[in-house]
Every structure is written in C-alpha cells, then in structure tokens.
Amino acid sequence: MTSPDLTLDSREVPLGGLRGITVHRTLPQRGLPTVGPWCFVDQFGPTTEPMAVLPHPHTGLQTVTWPLAGEIRHRDNLGSDVVLRPGELNLMTSGRGVAHSEFSVGDITQPISGLQLWVALPGGQLAAEAAFEHHPDLPPVEGRTWTATVLMGEIDGVVSPATTHSPMVGAELRIAAGTATIPLRPDFEHAILAVDGATLVDGIEIAARQMRYLAPGRAEVRLRVPAATTLLLIGGTPFEEQLVMWWNFIGRSHEDIVEARDQWQAASPRFGEVAGHAGKRIPAPPLPQVRLRSRRRTIDGSSSHD
Ligand code: MN
C-alpha cells in the first residue's frame, strides 16, 4: 500500500466559552486523526478579539502553546500563573487531568495570533501527574537558507528542553524568499503548515493555513516561498494507539470520556480549581446520543513514500 502525500484544508472552529475566539483547525482530519502523536493543530488570529478562555479541563494530552503576536496569561490548577510571549513555549501535560484558563493581556488593542497544538499521550502516561513547563529560551537552529525554533523533539541535532513522551518533532520554520531543504527523519511521518503565506512543498503549492502531509520515508523536504514565510513542522512515529477524542478529553474508550466529563461537571479534585476566576468555568457540552468511537485512520502512515 502506498501513502499519498496530501494537502489538508483548515476549517473554522469557534472555541468554547463566552468570548472564546475562532480558530483555523488543520488537525484532526477525516481519515487522519494524528501526525505522529500530534492530534490537534489550531491557528488563531491575527485578531483584535481578545482571548478569554475560562477554566476548562484536559485529559490524555499535552497542550503546546506558541504565540506569534500578543501576550497570553496562562493559569492552571497546579498554581501556574505565567504570561506567555512570542518566542516562548507553554507546555502543559495533563496526565490524568488538569484544568487551565487563557486570557489576552498587555496591549489588547493589538492583534493576537498564534498556534495551539495537542500531543496525544501514550497509554503509560494516562494516569501520571499533571505538569506545566514554561520555556522562554528555546534553542535556535541555523540552516543555510532557513532558521527554526525547536518546540518539541530535535531537528538537525538541536534538542528542545520540553518534555516529550514519544518520538516527535515540532518546530517553527522561517524562510526568507527562496528555497530551503529541511532535514527529516525517515521513520517519522510529518506535516508542514503554511502559517502566514503560500509555500511550495516539494513542488506542490499550499496556501496560508493549509497543511501538507508527508508520509514516512523521507530524509528531507524542499520548500520554496515567494516571500519571507513562517511555517510549522510537526511529525513523529505514527501513533498506533486508538484514541477516543471528545471536547477537551482524550481517552481510549467511551467510558473514559464519560468519566472525565462527569468528574469535570462535579468539580472533582481530578481537575482541581484554577484560582482567580471566582468559580467560573466552561461547562462540558452534552454528550452525543451515540457511543464515542476511536478516530479511524484511513491514510496509511506505516509504509514508505513513493
Ligand atoms: Mn485548553
């Protein structure tokens, strides 16, 4: 079986909460729930609508928050209270359960934009303690015609200090007008998101906010941009575990999700409390009437490119 490379469109998704903003989501996709362990890719802004996401829970995942413009205040039930700025990474690992809020701060008349990504945790991490990391100084990578910041994993021998639980890479790529050849791991599948401009990915043009999926088996990818462009590279070994994803929860079964939802609604200590919101929080939506099922993958990420 061959694994075709694919161009993936984003779709607009309103985030929950009274004044939650709209994001452009390129993952998950029908037939492609994950790229490596990456299971959500949301791009927000540029918008002058302030971010105001009240406390909400997560299970079974890491949130990777990477602002491109503006400042975001993160608070969680672990007691973290951090202002996140462009060039800095927030990494929150839910383990069994965590809750957090995210609000625009600073000069909120200026547009905000950024990326929020989720990484699925492997089964062995589903009962672990929650953790939060703020990384203000990530390692830069200097390619010949490109630069990068490694958010997660490693690229070209440069390793991020952020904690990972399965083999993966996540990096912001910046290319001036022209071409760049980015090294890849052949045992990984990858995807390239054109954050702010059209890009040729191995000769195939994608528009801003589109993503190009790259099947395993490549040692590099050639990119060409008509003007200075920012891109996101994600990848990892294809994630073999079946994921049941609903709202802000990732589990392995319908029952996992029902239990997490019930415990959030009951203000269970599983998720604790995020200080500073006077008890305000985002309630879980009603469950669908059908049993939740794992996301089926119909794009084969296990065989080689070409
Ligand atoms: Mn969240």
CA of 54 to the centre of ligand 1 (A): 9
Q: So what's the pLDDT on residue 50?
A: 86
Query: Which class is 6-236 in CATH?
Result: mainly beta
Ligand 1: distance of its center to the CA of 24 in Å?
15
> Model confidence at 15, in pLDDT bands (50, 70, 90)?
confident
Full DSSP string of 227-242: S-EEEEEEEESPP-S-
Ligand 1 centre distance from Cα of residue 117 (Å):
10
Max Cα-Cα span within the chain = 56
User: Domain spans of the chain?
Assistant: 6-236
Span 38-67, pLDDT tens digits: 999 999 999 988 888 999 999 999 999 999
Mean pLDDT for 221-241 is: 97
Q: What pLDDT does residue 1 have? A: 41
Identify which has the larger pLDDT, 21 or 223: 223
Output the pLDDT for position 295: 85
Report how far ligand 1's centroid is from the alpha carbon of 57 (Å): 7
Distances (CA, A) of 185 to 152, 172, 208: 14, 16, 25
Average pLDDT of 131-160?
96
Q: How far is the CA of 118 from the centre of ligand 1 (A)?
A: 9
Instruction: Report CA(265)–ligand 1 centroid distance (Å).
Output: 16
pLDDT band at residue 302 under the 50/70/90 scheme: low
Strand partners, 7: 212
- What local confidence, expressed as pLDDT, does residue 305 receive? 41
Q: Which pLDDT score, from 0 to 100, does residue 304 have? A: 42
